[in-house]
């Protein structure tokens, strides 16, 4: 059915419905008093959890799911006491899990796209337990299973409201995108601009024929929906804003008994509720509307279904110590035409063999010289600058050096200083290779973490996107 669970974009509507049906089977087994009916199905199989960030629900529900299926589990939560404190890379950590004969990895990491990289490296299934602000597909699957269970075992014709922090978390984004696979979906929301649904997500949903309507207040939303999905403020992902200000923003959107007194639907929350901000007041926990504790248990049923589908009736994957050579190379070099003649007066004149870096932002050549440590390595560095003019409104810089080879890590260092540099490789006074080096602009993308050495890769689904964080990329140079 599938080998990894990295992104909801990798699933089809048929696969989502199939998983909901299998999760419903797991739920029926539990509710009929047969919790350990499948306790031999994954006997001797091992789950590794690689959690670089804290987790309660995700980690424990995978633990419980694997235990009830008869498997074993081990791993880490937080990097204290691990070799990651010694700067071990994601690649090395993944391969160590494989070398220790684990059968599946569940990974959470604060960097966008990191789990896709782990899946590229691994020869065993990898499940995304949350990567930065990007995605949390198993949370979305348990959320959509909760909707399925309370919507007549179907996912068409759903009206749902969203509240709280709709901008900085991954759960709302992932669930909205998953809902877009189905028909007659209506989304209503109310929040401050800073906490609202991002415009690019609204554009995407509307392109998929999802109705998205912003209301003035929570009561207006509750009047129109069967489900209301509240979220906590993602304070850990907000830079330069105080907790008190965010709390003030949320005040009128908090869920209390007065707001839900006429609400006949289900109130959902991915948990945890922030007990200080209290986006859901405690009295609401005891109301008929409260559905988030059922939602939490549904995580076990969905994750049991996932693990069962990934591992059942399959032989173990024998460890292969040989790495795929493709892991070294990206597809991010935009080849440029090389002029057949050397023109007098070009910046590369008098550089017999070396590298010329062009189309740098004004003043960047000095910083790049420092980043590449050219002087200490014994290379000549010759920066030059063109001040702003009619052709180059912001000016631009160049750098030429007699360094003959430039590594992937060095190219990335250049691109981190100045986006889309043009690299000219010169031998015997002739340009033999010329390309623009593309690097994802998402500041939190795994490809921008130099020490991880992830080769930038892009794909085109009508828009050019980063393979790892899946953000859109527009070529400028």
Alpha-carbon distance of 91 to 31, in angstroms, equals 41
Is 57 a residue of the active site?
yes
Tell me, rounded to whole angstroms, the distance of Cα 294 from its chain centroid: 26
Is 86 a residue of the active site?
yes
Options 108, 133, 173, 400, the catalytic residue: 108
In eight-state DSSP terms, residue 55 is -
**What CA–CA distances, in Å, run from 320 to 146, 301, 324?**
39, 32, 10
Q: What are the residues whose beta carbons fall under 8 Å from the beta carbon of 474, sequence distance 6 or more? A: 464
Q: How far apart are the first and last CA of the chain?
A: 40
Instruction: Confirm if 325 and 358 have CB atoms less than 8 A apart.
Output: no
Options 86, 216, 322, 343, the catalytic residue: 86
347-351: long-range contacts, CB 8 A cutoff, minimum separation 24: 347/384, 347/398, 347/400, 348/400, 348/424, 348/426, 348/431, 351/400, 351/402, 351/426, 351/429
- DSSP string across 396-463: EEEEEE------HHHHHHHHHHSSS-EEEEEETTEEEEEEEE-----TTBGGG-GGG-PPP-EEESSS
Options 136, 170, 359, 457, the catalytic residue: 136
The DSSP bridge partners found for residue 460 are 464
Instruction: Extract the tokens encoding 385.
Output: 């600058």
Options 22, 45, 46, 58, the catalytic residue: 58
Is 58 a residue of the active site?
yes
Instruction: Confirm if 395 and 319 have CB atoms less than 8 A apart.
Output: no
Q: What are the residues whose beta carbons fall under 8 Å from the beta carbon of 370, sequence distance 6 or more? A: none
| Bridge-based pairing state of the strands 396-401 and 227-230 | unpaired
Alpha-carbon distance of 98 to 262, in angstroms, equals 53
Is 108 a residue of the active site?
yes
Instruction: Extract the tokens encoding 258.
Output: 């007065």
Options 37, 57, 186, 385, the catalytic residue: 57
Alpha-carbon distance of 87 to 330, in angstroms, equals 23
In eight-state DSSP terms, residue 333 is E
Number of H helices, E strands in the chain: 13, 17
Is 170 a residue of the active site?
no
**What CA–CA distances, in Å, run from 332 to 304, 387, 408, 412, 436?**
38, 29, 11, 11, 8
Q: Active-site residue numbers?
A: 57-58, 86, 108, 136
């Amino acid at each position: 059915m599938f080998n990894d669970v990295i992104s909801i974009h990798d699933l089809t509507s048929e696969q989502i419905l199939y998983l909901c049906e299998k999760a419903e089977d797991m739920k029926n087994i539990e509710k009929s008093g047969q919790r350990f009916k499948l306790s031999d199905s994954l006997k001797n199989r091992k789950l590794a959890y690689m959690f670089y960030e804290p987790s309660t629900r995700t980690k424990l529900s995978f633990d419980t799911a694997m235990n009830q299926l008869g498997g074993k589990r081990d791993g880490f939560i937080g990097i204290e006491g691990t070799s990651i404190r010694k700067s071990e890379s994601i690649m090395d950590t993944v391969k160590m899990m494989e070398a220790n004969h684990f059968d599946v990895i569940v990974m959470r990491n604060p960097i966008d796209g990191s789990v896709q990289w782990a899946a590229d490296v691994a020869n065993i299934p990898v499940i995304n337990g949350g990567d930065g602000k990007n995605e949390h597909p198993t949370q979305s699957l348990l959320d959509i299973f909760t909707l399925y269970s309370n919507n007549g075992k179907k996912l068409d014709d759903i009206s749902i409201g969203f509240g709280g922090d709709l901008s900085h978390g991954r759960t709302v984004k992932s669930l909205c995108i998953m809902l877009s696979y189905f028909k007659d979906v209506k989304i209503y929301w109310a929040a401050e601009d800073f906490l609202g649904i991002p415009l690019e997500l609204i554009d995407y949903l509307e392109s998929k024929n999802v109705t998205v309507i912003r209301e003035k207040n929570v009561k207006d939303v509750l009047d129109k929906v069967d489900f209301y999905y509240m979220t906590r403020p993602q304070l850990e992902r907000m830079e330069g804003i105080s907790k008190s200000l965010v709390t003030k923003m949320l005040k009128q959107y908090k869920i209390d008994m007065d707001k839900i007194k006429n609400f006949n639907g289900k109130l959902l929350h991915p948990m945890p509720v922030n007990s200080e901000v209290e986006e859901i007041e405690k009295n609401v926990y005891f109301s008929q509307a409260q559905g988030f504790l059922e939602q939490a248990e549904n995580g076990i049923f969905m994750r049991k279904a996932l693990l069962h589908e990934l591992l059942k009736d399959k032989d173990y994957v024998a460890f292969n110590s040989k790495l795929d050579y493709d892991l070294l190379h990206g597809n991010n070099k935009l080849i440029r035409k090389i002029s057949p003649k050397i023109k007098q007066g070009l910046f590369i004149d008098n550089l017999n063999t070396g590298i010329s870096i062009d189309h740098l932002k004004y003043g960047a050549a000095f910083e790049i010289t420092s980043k590449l440590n050219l002087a200490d390595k014994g290379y000549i560095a010759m920066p030059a600058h063109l001040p702003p003019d009619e052709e180059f409104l912001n000016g631009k810089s160049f750098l030429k050096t007699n360094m003959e080879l430039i590594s992937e890590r060095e190219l990335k260092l250049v691109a981190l200083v100045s986006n889309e540099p043009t690299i000219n490789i010169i031998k015997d006074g002739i340009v033999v290779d010329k390309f623009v080096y593309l690097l994802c602009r998402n500041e939190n993308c795994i490809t921008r973490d130099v020490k991880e050495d992830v080769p930038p890769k892009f794909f085109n689904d009508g828009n050019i996107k980063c393979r790892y964080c899946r953000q859109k990329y527009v070529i400028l140079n």
